[in-house]
């Protein structure tokens, strides 16, 4: 079956501190320049001829997370994995999100078609 795809990549500057059950320097407040890639798909286009408007993706992600302390704006432990799922749940037609918190460290969340 045919499918349309769009991908938007954003850079987010944000701080966080992790709540961990082991000793780690990541429990201290620190920041990253996160690279977030949002993947959306749809079998048909909306009335504007789009899968999801790139501006709507930016508003759902950057307008909430950029230059924020993630612990203050997200209701969970802000690991890269949890952030990826939150973004996927926040963007229309999103099925996958990749969150790179630093070079070589990327977490991905992909929605199962049964979700």
Q: Model confidence over 37-59: pLDDT tens digits?
A: 999 999 999 999 999 999 999 99
Is residue 115 situated within a structural domain? Answer: no
Q: What is the pLDDT of residues 60-113, one digit of tens each?
A: 999 999 999 999 999 999 999 999 999 999 999 999 999 999 999 999 999 987
How far, in whole angstroms, is CA 17 from its chain's centroid? 17
Integer angstrom CA distances of residue 13 from 61, 63, 93: 12, 11, 25
Is residue 67 situated within a structural domain? Answer: yes
| Interior angle at CA 99, CA 94 and CA 101, nearest 5 | 165
Domain count, the chain: 1
Q: Are 17 and 30 in contact (CB under 8 A)?
A: yes
Confidence of residue 1 (pLDDT cuts 50, 70, 90): confident
Give pTM, 2 decimals: 0.94
- Would you give the DSSP letter of residue 2? -
Residue range(s) defining the domain that contains residue 76: 4-110
| Tokens describing residue 54 | 């790139």
Question: Residue 46 maps to which CATH number?
Answer: 3.30.479.10
């Amino acid at each position: 079956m045919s499918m349309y795809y769009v991908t938007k990549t954003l850079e987010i500057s944000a701080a966080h501190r992790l709540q961990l059950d082991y000793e780690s320097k990541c429990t201290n407040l620190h920041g990253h320049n996160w690279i977030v890639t949002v993947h959306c798909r749809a079998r048909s286009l909306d009335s504007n001829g789009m899968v999801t408007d790139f501006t709507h993706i930016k508003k759902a992600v950057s307008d909430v997370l950029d230059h924020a302390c993630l612990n203050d704006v997200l209701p969970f432990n802000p690991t890269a994995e949890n952030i990826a799922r939150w973004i996927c749940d926040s963007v229309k037609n999103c099925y996958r999100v990749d969150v790179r918190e630093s070079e070589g460290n990327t977490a991905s969340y992909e929605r199962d078609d049964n979700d």
